[in-house]
Amino acid sequence: MTNTKRLIMTVYKSETHLRAIETLLEILIKIAAIYFSYEIFTRIGDYFMGTSDVNNLAYSLLILPILYTLKDAGKILEPYTVKIEADDKKVTVTRGLNLKVEDTLEYKHIDNYELRTTCLGRLKNYGDVYLYSAGGLVAIPYIKNPKEFIETLNANRTP
């Protein structure tokens, strides 16, 4: 019989509602900016050309940026799928609705880390932590109290 020590995984909370609202607002602002550009383009075209061909051209130029922006609509639900677990040896992040991704990285392999926060993230204390290693990176999205997590990470890393 082997004696194995089972490590207790700590579950870290991630921000869900605020991040989903923030993503929705980002998408709406992009669409509003595209529409505003469309309006300016058609008015300038009407002024110089005076034909309805400008509307057709502007409309065709409008469709692709809007479709490109709407492809990010799935990111609105992404914060609800994030699960962050860590112990004193490794961190595991599971995320995704349709394509479920599980990333695990041992602390001893971490070369560098990066913390990214949005304006609302700075106000409400959440952000994205990126852990870099020789083989790639593990993203820990929307984690609450990211600086506290980084302190724990640094305490568990081997020099």
Using CB atoms within 10 A of its CB, is residue 12 exposed (0-12), middle (13-18) or buried (19+)? buried
Q: Does 128 have pLDDT greater than 80?
A: yes
- The answer to whether residue 136 sits within a structural domain is yes
Distances (CA, A) of 14 to 32, 34, 80, 143, 146: 29, 31, 9, 4, 10
Q: Which helix (DSSP H) or strand (DSSP E) does residue 94 occupy? A: strand 90-95
Final residue of a domain: which of 76, 95, 112? Answer: 76
pLDDT in the model for residue 139: 94
C-alpha to C-alpha distance for 147 and 159, rounded to whole angstroms: 19
Give mean pLDDT, residues 76-82.
92
- The answer to whether residue 2 sits within a structural domain is no
Q: Do 90 and 69 fall into the same domain?
A: no
C-alpha to C-alpha distance for 90 and 108, rounded to whole angstroms: 8
Q: Do 84 and 25 fall into the same domain?
A: no
- 76-100 b/e with 16+ CB inside 10 Å = b? bebbebbebebeeebbbbebeeeee
Q: Do 152 and 85 fall into the same domain?
A: yes
Final residue of a domain: which of 29, 47, 76? Answer: 76
Give mean pLDDT, residues 93-116.
91
Final residue of a domain: which of 31, 58, 76? Answer: 76
Q: Does 155 have pLDDT greater than 90?
A: no
Q: Give the residue numbers spanning the domain of 87.
A: 10-15+80-156
- The answer to whether residue 1 sits within a structural domain is no
Q: Does 47 have pLDDT greater than 90?
A: no
Phi, psi of 55 (to 5 degrees): -60, -45
Say which residue the tokens 């984690």 belong to. 143
CATH classification of the domain holding 147:
2.30.29.30
Q: Does 127 have pLDDT greater than 50?
A: yes
